[in-house]
Amino acid sequence: MKSKEILLFGASGQIGRNLIRKLTKSNYKITAVTRNIHRKGYLLKTQANPGYLELVELTNFNSSKIDELFKNCSICINLIGILYEKKKNQFKTIHNDLPNMLSLKANKFKLDKFIHMSSLGIEKANDSKYAVSKLEGEKNIIKNFKKSIILKPSIVYSVDDNFTTNFMTLLSRLPIMPLYYNGSTKFNPIHVSDLVDILYHMVENRNNDLILECLGPEKLSFKEIINILLRSIGKRRLLMPLPLSIAKMSAKILQLFPKPLLTMDQLLLLKYDNVKSGLYKTNYDLGFKTEKIFEKEVNKYSYNWRSGGQFAKQKNL
């Protein structure tokens, strides 16, 4: 009989590292796939006790190498995702071709389940390549393997994220913060530990053939999020709505940087609310109430960006 062995792609990201900690504490053994053990090994190895985590380096998605990995696992989880393309058609390769291949293998090797992380709010955004590629990926997975579970979160935040931490850095340095679409786009942020609890439940229980929207407890507009971050780091900044033509021009320039803060594709996606669609079940339907409040959680780590650091008094702005 196969033991509780999990094959994890995208393990070194924010969600992957938190998930490794949760699963290995419950005696799951993880094989974590990374493109570069030398760069990501130190991040990964500290997440689990010896014996519970094996690292495998794959520099490309060579089908026969992946077959070998599938032979030894009962569950595969795919957390690989990108926010911008470094080369042409990369969204399609990462969000569509790769999950297509993994879900076909899950079927071939008769896995107990295949769990894939997609995104919330992509159904209407047919002018965004990110959204289209994620949605195509979902469709292929459902077609390929009946025992698939697709999770769809909005912004996932924690001290390890690339969202609140990057924005707090920007807000602490820039005197003016541009607002796209007047800052009115709505989000349903979920704390990484709440999302990992849902993932853990999916691993433990019989929930096959399921698409689940993973919602945090609050619906916040982009402007509300920025104001919370500003309060949390004790800064006042001018929030300036940008006309779309200027926003497009700034995105065209920013996307030329190696780690762009904004791309044209992200600007297109920002037009659409990132909240419950009504098309799928949500964690609330399964009895999972997420309770972590955005402002309260961000306050736990925002001192890194506050003048005076951890022991400075928080200003009442």
Ligand X SMILES: NC(=O)c1ccc[n+]([C@@H]2O[C@H](COP(=O)([O-])OP(=O)(O)OC[C@H]3O[C@@H](n4cnc5c(N)ncnc54)[C@H](OP(=O)(O)O)[C@@H]3O)[C@@H](O)[C@H]2O)c1
Residue 15 binds to ligand X (criterion: CB under 6 A): yes
Q: Is 40 in the site for ligand X (CB under 6 A)?
A: yes
Q: Which residue among 121, 137, 153, 183 contacts ligand X (CB under 6 A)?
A: 153
Q: Nearest distance from residue 14's CB to ligand X, in Å?
A: 4
Q: Which of 7, 8, 23, 79 binds ligand X (CB under 6 A)?
A: 79
Residues between 162 and 201 that touch ligand X (CB under 6 A): 163
Binding footprint of ligand X, residue count (CB under 6 A): 20
Among 6, 7, 20, 34, binds ligand X (CB under 6 A): 34
Choosing from 24, 81, 282, 283, the residue that interacts with ligand X (CB under 6 A) is: 81
Q: Please provide the DSSP assignment of the chain as one string.
A: ---SEEEEESTTSHHHHHHHHHHHHTT-EEEEEES-HHHHHHHHHTTS-TTSEEEEE-SS--HHHHHHHHHT-SEEEE----SS-SSTTHHHIIIIIHHHHHHHHHHHTT-SEEEEE--SS-SS-TT-HHHHHHHHHHHHHHHH-TTEEEEEES-EESTT-SSHHHHHHHHHH-SEEEEGGGG--EE--EEHHHHHHHHHHHHHS---SEEEEE--S--EEHHHHHHHHHHHHT---EEEEPPHHHHHHHHHHHTTSSS-S--HHHHHHTTS-BS--SSSEETTTTT------HHHHHHTTGGGGSTTGGGSPPP--
Binding mask 115-134 for ligand X (x = CB under 6 A): --x-x---------------
Pick the closer one to ligand X by CB: 48 or 235: 48
Taking CB under 6 A as the binding criterion, the range among 14-22, 23-31, 138-146, 164-172 that sits at the site for ligand X is 14-22
Does residue 155 belong to the site contacting ligand X (CB under 6 A)?
A: yes
Site membership for ligand X, residue 212 (CB under 6 A): no
**Which listed range, 75-83, 236-244, 247-255, 284-292, lies at the site for ligand X (CB under 6 A)?**
75-83
**Binder of ligand X out of 6, 7, 14, 270 (CB under 6 A):** 14
Which residues of the shown chain bind ligand X in the complex (CB under 6 A)? 10, 12-16, 34-35, 40, 79-82, 94, 117, 119, 153, 155-156, 163
